[in-house]
């Protein structure tokens, strides 16, 4: 009789259990509108180069679910955004160091890149200048 109750209890637990979802890089409704500002992963590790043993290397990833095969033209970071990384050195949940980054597009001689289209020079987006290959790098900018 006891195995029957255990079996029934187990069956009820399975049937009433909710769905469990794995971690997601797109879980916050607000940030889905601003993927360029969505910090997805942070990596911190001690530097292994000789003479730099007392240094820490930090790597931050932004823009979730970006396809790795999309390169070399990955999505740009937000030129209007402020990227901050807060570091707590003593475990009190208050940042002791804050790194702030802003990004901007820059062009040689303050000029945009243009393409001749029908005899007219048209400004173009940096990453749409052309195809790159080992044999042809004329689109490299």
The phi and psi torsions of 62 (rounded to 5 degrees) equal: -130, 170
pLDDT tens digits in sequence order for the chain, 141 residues long: 666 666 666 666 666 665 555 455 566 777 778 878 888 888 999 988 889 889 999 998 887 777 766 665 667 788 888 999 999 999 999 999 999 999 887 666 556 677 788 898 877 765 556 666 777 766 665
For the chain, helix, strand, coil in percent to 5 are 20, 25, 55
Contacts with 31 (C-beta within 8 Å, 6 or more apart), sequence order = 37, 38
The pTM assigned to this predicted structure is 0.54
């Amino acid at each position: 009789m006891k195995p029957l109750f255990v079996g029934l209890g187990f069956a009820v637990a399975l049937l009433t259990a909710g769905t469990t979802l794995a971690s997601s890089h797109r879980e916050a409704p607000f940030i889905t509108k601003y993927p360029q500002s969505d910090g997805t992963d942070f990596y911190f590790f001690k530097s292994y180069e000789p003479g730099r043993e007392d240094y820490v290397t930090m790597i931050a990833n932004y823009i979730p679910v970006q396809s790795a095969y999309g390169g070399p033209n990955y999505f740009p970071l937000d030129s209007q955004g402020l990227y901050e990384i807060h570091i707590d050195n003593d475990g009190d949940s208050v940042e002791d160091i804050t790194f702030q980054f802003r990004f901007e597009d820059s062009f040689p001689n303050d000029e945009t890149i243009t393409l001749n289209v029908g005899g007219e020079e048209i400004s173009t987006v940096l990453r749409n200048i052309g195809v790159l290959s080992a044999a042809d790098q004329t689109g490299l900018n």
